[in-house]
Structure 1
Amino acid sequence: MDRADFVHLVRLSEHASADDSNGYRRGVAAFAALGYLWVIACLALAVGIIAWVVASMGQGRFNFTRGWLLLFALGLLWATLRALWVRFDEPEGVQLAREDAPALFEALDRIRQKIDGPPVHHVYLDSEFNASIRQLPRFGLFGGAVNYLSVGLPLLMALDKRRLLSVLAHEYGHLRGNHGKLSAWIYRTRLSWLKLDASLQNDEGVMALASQAFFRWYFPRFAAKTFALARQDEYEADRVSARLLGPGVAGAALTEIAVKSTWYADAFWAGHWARAAQEPLPAGPFSAMEAQLCAPVAPDLAREALRSALRRVSDVDDTHPVLRDRLEALDEKAALPVWSTKSALELLADKAKWIAYFDGEWRRTHASDWKQHHAYLARVRERVAALAGSAGRNNADEMVEWADCERRINAVADVRGRYERALQITADHPGALRGLAQTLPPKDRAARLAVLERLHASSTASRWWAAKTAVALLEDPDAGPHDEPALKLWRERAKAAEAAEQRAWEEITSTPFFSQIARHDLSEFELGELRADLVRCSPISRAWLVRKNLREFPWRRAYVVFVELPGLPDEERWNLCRQLEQTLSLPGAALVLWAGHSPTLAEIERQAFGPVWTRTAG
């Protein structure tokens, strides 16, 4: 099923849910039952064939055809039993006993009593900035479920107790009432089909091929038909949270999480890894994180993070509504909240114990990565020293590299003069103009727009970045008064550049993986930036990089990144690759692919010129 058909089915499910919610839910349940019917029919067919063959053997009528049918039936029975007994891994993290967090367990008991929900069987503490509740099947496709609640230590640090409890009430809200039972059953069914499909992918038997064909038809339709139910379930869980803690608390928690999660991902981890420049041994992040997550976010960063969150629109890639829609449903204003002043760590009996535990785990897990990053930053410092020693002879490229390297060591280093000197040497140098636009004072909008104008006019390859940056600058009310003509002009430029970007992306993705490729053209600094990103992405064990030569845009730098992701299911691999396409530090668009069925690891090793990065043992 292509994306257009999937989106069409999602829209149909949304309309059906809006027109007749109960009828829609009955239809979803019936379609979910179709998957079970397939498994039961296969089981009945297998048992029937085996019984018939065994009976014929007793009558002395066994022959080659019956022998083949018996083998087929046994294979069918085995595959069906596998489907009926899908095993799931427990959540990551540490399971908490009641004595580890008595206040947390008491709060969960109160929430359960108020919404008359099922018990939470296991509570886990992990290192994620998140909280989630999962219902895993107890006996494969059939039977009851086990409820697992996972709470992230960073989330406990970021929110006060009431806001944290509103998050837990939201998660518990997924289990409430008859609607919750249907949603939970659908969720468990979806997990089961995903797990079964993954287990059958490496099986080349006749039954596996038949099941794969069925699930290729069934699962996209199942996901589309249940999409509205999952989206509706999120809103209902928000209403549960608002009813128990108040809509103001629920809305403030959503907004504070949106802003602080942006700071956590973009600022905290960059700053933490920057410590490797001075510290050869890995530093535990959670000790430093405690004070920083409970502190107010810098006003400029907070406003930009909130604006970015509010610009997002709900789509079919995620059943969670976006922040704007969730706040509107709660009838809460989209504004920065009063920040939490005291963390919810008091819900743990011994917070120091858990901070020390996760610090130790992080240091052990990232020891090798930290060592590599420390060595890389040492090389950057050496390069800075070399460029400083030849300051009077540096060309424009070297001046830009000098400035970029200094910013790599210290993100707030004052390197504006380096970029200005590069522009004196080579007027309209793209790298210097981009660097200057980034280092000019945020409030000096006129100067930044002038630099972006020069960059847009002089560098075709930089037009999309220049237009995107200018639009964001003109849309920022803190940067200056509203300028409608300028905003209209830059939006038109951004639209034109976006169209060119889309054509380039289509050429990258539509041509065969290994056609029109060459060895990468990254400088040592650019390659170091990429390796620094790869170090921080723990699922990646190896990575390859090739340049993609675009026929329509021969001047355009574009890349294909191949990554080896052992141990992850394909859905998580797909999601991670899409995330990496947005976050990897590369000087051009990049398609990220994992080593799997297509392309295979052997094809990558044969044609991608050797890995650019390999994770070493800790």
Structure 2
Amino acid sequence: MTIEQQERFETLVRQLEKDARHHPANYQIKVTLLAILGYAYILFVFLLLLGIIWGARTFLVAASSEALTNQLNLMAILVSLGILRLFWIDTKIPKGLPLDRLHAPELFATIDRLATILQAPKCDRIFLTDELNAGVLQSPRLGLLGWQQNYLFLGLPLMQALSLQQFRAVLAHELGHLSGNHSHFSNWIYRLRKIWFELAERFPEPKNSGFFLFQWFFHWYAPYFHAYTFVLVRANEYEADRCGVELAGLENEAQADINLAIYSYFLHKSFWPTIYQQAEQHAEPPSDAITQLLQQLKIGLSPREAAKWLDRALAHRTDYEDTHPCLLDRLTAIGYDLNPIQPPQPPTQTAAEYFFGELLWSFADRLDREWKNEVAGSWEKLYLRAQQQRRNLAALDEKAQKCALTVEQMWKRACLTSTLQEAHKAIALFQQVLEVEPNHPLTNYQLGKILIERNDSQGIKYLEKAIAIDPELVVPSCDLLYDFYLNQGKIKQAKFYQQKGQEYYCLWKRIQQERSRISHETPLFPHQLSDGEVRQLSEQLSTYSEINKAYLVRQKVTFFPEKAFYIFAIVLQTVKGAGADWKSHEEIIDRLENELNFSGNFRVIILQNSNFKLEQTIRKIAGSCIYY
């Protein structure tokens, strides 16, 4: 979604929120008509095509052309089957361990009791996953005509993080999405929304093909339907929370929400980054990652760490990127006492322990194996990247002994030293970069990060400078300063940087959106790099056997135009087949974006037939070709 599309979407949703509040009946009518329009258009096109074929058939029957008439009969059948197949919903079922009543009788009995109270349909299949999450999925057996098959997914980490009653609240929330006690209309829209999204993915852009009528329609319809139903689906989340309160109690619903928010931040910011950091040294992923996670969840977090992640979660605000409300809004909606909100104590017995007993670690072992197999490919890429980084660092170390490095080479050497060796060894190298170029934004940020993470207040001045120089570094720098001051017990300073980071976050997203798109119509300019920097980039690009030519240009940007944004446009060697050395475009782009000795803000694109006009535009820019 472009910046303009996002702004139009948010404006429309805000207006619809007002309509839903002040005129709920009118809002429901509009949503209903819009939902019916999707069905009506498909039926219209289907009947139109059959009408054309039938008209031609009638003409040929009158002309006594039996052979052509039979061909048109066959064509009508093929068109019908083609449209049926096109709109057949074959929902992809997420992976997980199937559970049965024999191994978890009490769990199934609990789910059955809750489903009965909520008048929700029974769950046809229940799966255990390795996620800190739970969810229901309805897969229509008859596509657009419905007849839902219901799946319930339960994350073993989620069950290990919650008490029995807290987990009961989560189950009630998920089954509440299917509840017959509440709005059938909301549940219908909730299901239909997923169906239209899945269909829209089949027609991402209008193109010249046999199904251009559907492509054109869904290109317009899907975003519009998304906006119109956004308000209703968010209201459905609040309604599901109320189901949790009704069946498990206010305290348990609130404690479950708080616990999951805390552990979600912990996993995202701490646990999984630590696990994946091992890829720098080990060719294979650990065999017990999920077991480690479950053990950590059983122990719980320290009061200070739990309070830190809770503070982060409470600071997050509801936005228009996700239908789920933020933690603070959810707690407010159910009437929970917000003053003060404390992290819950780890349960004496977790829901996972209660329902699975001795089978818990058997399930963990199976999920360990599944996780290891699932991440094996991405883990290997991380390991190979680390090995390439080691080779790059060795080459830069050797070159530094022979001659002076460019600023970008000095910066890359410091970064790689920080990543592959102990971070403190990179301090002197980053300081050398700043002696040559004091306003180097990433060097100020990375040096400040190392110092702050060692609880050295000297890092503050470097992060402050990074904030002043580069708007894209405001959010990560504020995160670091927030953590530092919070650990120091300086709440006022911590809140200042927390608020500053939040204020810049929306702008940061706009910057990312603007710089993620390029076409032949995008204004491009000469790169304006020094001959020395171009030379060192050319030398490095020459080490990639896949590259035939490389171009470098600057892209005109609206947000912070004083901060240059570069495009590396690559022409690949012609390769026949897909031998052992063949690499996908994604792999080549990933390597270049991670390995180039270049600290400027940039992206890499591959020039090919699909963007031939863009290549023509780039080639016309003076000095754009930096390697051939």
TM-score range (shorter-chain normalised) is 0.7 to 0.9
Tell me the amino acid that sits aligned with residue 325 of structure 1. D
| Cα distance between partner residues in 1 of 2:155 and 2:478 | 37
Residues 266-345 of structure 1: pairs in structure 2 closer than 5 A: 266-284=269-287, 285-299=289-303, 301-332=305-336, 333=338, 334-345=341-352
2:444 paired with 1:433: yes
- Secondary structure of 2:219's match? helix
Stretch deviating more after TM superposition (448-457 or 343-352)? 448-457
2:564 paired with 1:556: yes
Q: Per-residue deviation at 1:76?
A: 5.0
Deviations along 1:586-618, whole A, 9 cap, x unmatched? Answer: 9555669999xx994999999999xxxxxxxxx
Residues 522-533 of structure 1: pairs in structure 2 closer than 5 A: none
Tell me the amino acid that sits aligned with residue 98 of structure 2. Q
| Cα distance between partner residues in 2 of 1:2 and 1:209 | 22
> CA 1:307/1:293 → structure 2, altered by over 3 Å: closer, same or farther?
same
Q: Per-residue deviation at 1:98?
A: 1.9
| Cα distance between partner residues in 2 of 1:46 and 1:148 | 37
> CA 1:186/1:601 → structure 2, altered by over 3 Å: closer, same or farther?
farther
Specify the alignment match of 1:112 in structure 2.
Answer: 115
2:235 paired with 1:232: yes
Tell me the amino acid that sits aligned with residue 99 of structure 1. L
TM-score computed with the length of structure 2 as normaliser: 0.73
- Secondary structure of 1:219's match? helix
Stretch deviating more after TM superposition (600-609 or 261-270)? 600-609
Stretch deviating more after TM superposition (192-201 or 308-317)? 192-201
Specify the alignment match of 2:576 in structure 1.
Answer: none
Does the 8 Å CA contact 1:415/1:439 hold for their aligned counterparts? no
Stretch deviating more after TM superposition (290-299 or 446-455)? 446-455
2:131 paired with 1:128: yes
Deviations along 1:318-346, whole A, 9 cap, x unmatched? Answer: 11111221111122224433234544323
| Cα distance between partner residues in 1 of 2:13 and 2:74 | 41
TM-score computed with the length of structure 1 as normaliser: 0.74
Specify the alignment match of 1:142 in structure 2.
Answer: 145
> CA 1:233/1:498 → structure 2, altered by over 3 Å: closer, same or farther?
closer
Q: Per-residue deviation at 1:33?
A: 1.5
Stretch deviating more after TM superposition (147-156 or 53-62)? 53-62
Does the 8 Å CA contact 1:464/1:501 hold for their aligned counterparts? no
2:370 paired with 1:361: yes
| Cα distance between partner residues in 2 of 1:356 and 1:602 | 51
Deviations along 1:195-237, whole A, 9 cap, x unmatched? Answer: 3344456997876211222222322222222111101000000
Tell me the amino acid that sits aligned with residue 444 of structure 2. L
| Cα distance between partner residues in 1 of 2:495 and 2:255 | 34
| Cα distance between partner residues in 2 of 1:31 and 1:166 | 34
Stretch deviating more after TM superposition (379-388 or 278-287)? 379-388
Does the 8 Å CA contact 2:449/2:480 hold for their aligned counterparts? no
Tell me the amino acid that sits aligned with residue 147 of structure 2. G
Q: Per-residue deviation at 1:61?
A: 5.8
Tell me the amino acid that sits aligned with residue 324 of structure 2. H
Deviations along 1:146-184, whole A, 9 cap, x unmatched? Answer: 111112233233333332222221111101126453233
Residues 159-558 of structure 1: pairs in structure 2 closer than 5 A: 159-177=162-180, 179-199=182-202, 208-284=211-287, 285-299=289-303, 301-332=305-336, 333=338, 334-346=341-353, 347-348=355-356, 350-377=359-386, 404-409=415-420, 413-415=423-425, 418=428, 422=432, 426=436, 428=438, 430=440, 432-441=443-452, 447-455=458-466, 460=469, 462=470, 464-465=472-473, 469-470=477-478, 473=481, 477-479=486-488, 481=490, 506=514, 509=517, 512=520, 549-550=554-555, 556=564, 558=566
| Cα distance between partner residues in 2 of 1:587 and 1:357 | 43
Does the 8 Å CA contact 2:120/2:180 hold for their aligned counterparts? yes
Does the 8 Å CA contact 1:91/1:124 hold for their aligned counterparts? no
| Cα distance between partner residues in 1 of 2:291 and 2:479 | 38
| Cα distance between partner residues in 2 of 1:11 and 1:398 | 48
| Cα distance between partner residues in 2 of 1:339 and 1:348 | 18
| Cα distance between partner residues in 2 of 1:522 and 1:75 | 60
| Cα distance between partner residues in 1 of 2:569 and 2:133 | 29
Does the 8 Å CA contact 1:508/1:548 hold for their aligned counterparts? no
> CA 1:299/1:466 → structure 2, altered by over 3 Å: closer, same or farther?
farther
Tell me the amino acid that sits aligned with residue 451 of structure 1. Y
Stretch deviating more after TM superposition (136-145 or 501-510)? 501-510
Specify the alignment match of 2:5 in structure 1.
Answer: 2
Quick one: which of 75, 100, 104 aligns to 2:103? 100
Indicate the percent of aligned positions where both proteins have the same amino acid.
Answer: 25
| Cα distance between partner residues in 2 of 1:324 and 1:315 | 12
Deviations along 1:103-132, whole A, 9 cap, x unmatched? Answer: 321221121122222111111222333211
> CA 1:493/1:176 → structure 2, altered by over 3 Å: closer, same or farther?
closer
Does the 8 Å CA contact 2:520/2:613 hold for their aligned counterparts? no
> CA 1:372/1:83 → structure 2, altered by over 3 Å: closer, same or farther?
closer
- Secondary structure of 1:123's match? strand
Q: Per-residue deviation at 1:363?
A: 2.8
Stretch deviating more after TM superposition (384-393 or 424-433)? 384-393
Stretch deviating more after TM superposition (170-179 or 376-385)? 376-385
RMSD between superposed Cα atoms in Å: 5.0
Does the 8 Å CA contact 2:205/2:215 hold for their aligned counterparts? no
Task: Give unpaired runs (5+ residues) of structure 1.
Answer: 528-543, 563-575, 610-618
Residues 13-28 of structure 1: pairs in structure 2 closer than 5 A: 13-28=16-31
| Cα distance between partner residues in 1 of 2:563 and 2:8 | 35
> CA 1:104/1:417 → structure 2, altered by over 3 Å: closer, same or farther?
same
Deviations along 1:429-476, whole A, 9 cap, x unmatched? Answer: 74553333213356968644333345566xx3x465258625873695
* Matched residue count: 565
| Cα distance between partner residues in 1 of 2:564 and 2:443 | 18
| Cα distance between partner residues in 1 of 2:346 and 2:569 | 40
> CA 1:253/1:517 → structure 2, altered by over 3 Å: closer, same or farther?
farther
Tell me the amino acid that sits aligned with residue 246 of structure 1. G
Does the 8 Å CA contact 1:422/1:432 hold for their aligned counterparts? no
| Cα distance between partner residues in 2 of 1:105 and 1:229 | 30
Q: Per-residue deviation at 1:39?
A: 2.5
Deviations along 1:257-288, whole A, 9 cap, x unmatched? Answer: 12212221232222222334554433221122
- Secondary structure of 1:211's match? helix
Specify the alignment match of 2:582 in structure 1.
Answer: none
> CA 1:265/1:70 → structure 2, altered by over 3 Å: closer, same or farther?
same
Q: Per-residue deviation at 1:9?
A: 2.9
Q: Per-residue deviation at 1:293?
A: 2.7
| Cα distance between partner residues in 1 of 2:415 and 2:609 | 35
Tell me the amino acid that sits aligned with residue 104 of structure 2. A
